[in-house]
């Protein structure tokens, strides 16, 4: 049995004060919950508030991205060592919004993934097809390409901390959710690619999360699927009671 990871992706929501307020309400709601790993990925400037609020709890913290250089004249960028130093254990890499709005490519995803793993972070690599790709029946090709390019040059010894989130882009923030069958099919393609790159044993242990309009109402159906090893939750993670309900699916 793979322990599920229920992760919040706050995107560009909440000030530090709002993050603190969230933690005050959320922490008691999930106290003692050991069945799943709980992760919150806030904007960089909220990391301190969330790390502080999570002290002494089973809640882990992640960043939403990292740059691939260690340090230097890269105005506005944040390095893996910086987020580790700020108390993050996780980092999201290659989210579709980064790909769509900020010029992220399979190659830059690969560079970020490599440095994140090197820094000891636990990356949540996001892959997923857009609507046109699903309609053109090329979902499988897209997922295989995104995975194989992301994995390029990464040794299986380094990949141990990797998790993947399958996030069909047409389901993100739209209220549309992939059916458990669509998600399970995509997850087995991803698991095959992971087996190809890092070996069968690794692939069996790899956690593959589903993301895209996960809410309290659909969390238990999705999480009950054996192929789904957790959730990456955007909109429904912003309110303490809603995210707590998803955690307790
Ligand atoms: P959503 O976002 O839950 O709001 O659809 C998921 C994500 O983008 O990670």
Phi-psi region of 151 (alpha: psi -120 to 50; beta: other; left: phi over 0): alpha
| H-helix or E-strand spanning residue 26 | helix 16-29
Phi and psi torsions of 168, nearest 5°? -60, 125
pLDDT confidence tier of residue 175, bands split at 50, 70 and 90: confident
CA-based nearest residue to 65, from 47, 51, 49, 83: 83
What is the per-residue pLDDT across 139-162, written as a single tens digit (0 to 9) for each?
A: 999 999 999 999 999 999 999 999
Is any ligand 1 atom within 6 A of the Cβ of residue 127? Answer: no
**pLDDT tens string 83-132:** 999 999 999 999 999 999 999 999 999 999 999 999 999 999 999 999 99
pLDDT at 153: 96
Q: What span, in angstroms and rounded, lies between the C-alpha atoms of 111 and 114?
A: 5
The beta-strand segments (E) located in the chain are 5-9, 37-41, 59-63, 90-93, 122-127, 163-166, 208-211, 230-233
- At 171 the pLDDT is 93
**Could you tell me the pTM of the whole model?**
0.97
- Any residues with CB less than 8 A from the CB of 47 and at least 6 apart, and which? 61, 63, 83, 86, 87, 88
User: CB of 83 closer than 6 A to ligand 1?
Assistant: no
pLDDT over threshold 90, residue 61: yes
Residue 190 C-alpha to ligand 1 middle, in angstroms? Answer: 19
- pLDDT for position 58: 96
Q: If you average pLDDT over residues 50-63, what whole number do you get?
A: 98
The DSSP 8-state label assigned to residue 4 in this structure reads: P
Q: Which has the closest alpha carbon to 149: 202, 109, 198, 119? A: 109
Say yes or no: CB of residue 9 within 6 Å of ligand 1.
yes
pLDDT number for residue 1: 82
CA of residue 213 to ligand 1 center, whole Å: 6
| Domain 5-247 class in CATH | alpha beta
- Measured between alpha carbons, how far is 211 from 227 in angstroms, rounded to an integer? 13
pLDDT reported for residue 36 = 97
Please enumerate in sequence order all residues whose Cβ is within 8 A of that of 108, keeping only pairs 6 or more positions apart, or say none. 68
pLDDT recorded at residue 85? 98
Residues 6+ apart with CB under 8 A from 227: 183, 184, 187, 188, 191, 208
* Ligand 1 proximity of 237 Cβ (cutoff 6 Å): no
Confidence of residue 186 (pLDDT cuts 50, 70, 90): very high
Q: What is the mean pLDDT of the chain?
A: 97
Best of 104, 127, 173 for a ligand 1 pocket test (most atoms within 8 Å of beta carbon): 173
User: Parallel, antiparallel, or unpaired for β 59-63 and 90-93?
Assistant: parallel
Q: Is 128 in the pocket of ligand 1 (CB under 6 A)?
A: no
At 191-229, the pLDDT tens digits run: 999 999 999 999 999 999 999 999 999 999 999 999 999
Interval 64-86 mean pLDDT: 97
For residue 178, report the distance from its CA to the centre of ligand 1, in Å: 12
CA 73 – ligand 1 centroid, Å: 32
Distance CA 232, CA 210 (A): 6
């Amino acid at each position: 049995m793979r322990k599920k990871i229920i992760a919040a992706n706050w995107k560009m929501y909440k000030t530090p004060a709002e993050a603190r307020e969230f933690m005050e309400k959320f922490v008691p709601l999930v106290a003692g919950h050991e069945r799943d790993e709980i992760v919150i990925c806030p904007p960089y400037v909220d990391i301190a508030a969330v790390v502080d609020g999570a002290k002494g709890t089973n809640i882990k913290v992640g960043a939403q991205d990292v740059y691939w250089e260690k340090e230097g004249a890269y105005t506005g960028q944040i390095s893996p060592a910086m987020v580790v130093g700020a108390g993050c254990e996780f980092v999201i890499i290659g989210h579709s919004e980064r790909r769509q709005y900020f010029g992220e490519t399979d190659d830059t995803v690969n560079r970020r993934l490599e440095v994140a793993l090197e820094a000891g972070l636990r990356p949540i690599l996001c892959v997923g097809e857009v609507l046109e790709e699903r309609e053109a029946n090329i979902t499988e090709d897209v997922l295989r390409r995104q995975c194989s390019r992301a994995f390029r040059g990464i040794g299986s010894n380094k990949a141990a901390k990797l998790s993947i989130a399958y996030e069909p882009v047409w389901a993100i923030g739209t209220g549309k959710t992939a059916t458990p069958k669509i998600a399970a099919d995509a997850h087995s393609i991803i698991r095959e690619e992971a087996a190809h790159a890092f070996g069968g044993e690794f692939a069996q242990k790899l956690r593959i999360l589903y993301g895209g309009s996960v809410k309290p109402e659909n969390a238990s159906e999705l999480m009950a699927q054996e192929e789904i090893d957790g959730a990456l939750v955007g909109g429904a993670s912003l309110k303490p009671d809603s995210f707590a309900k998803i955690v307790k699916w």
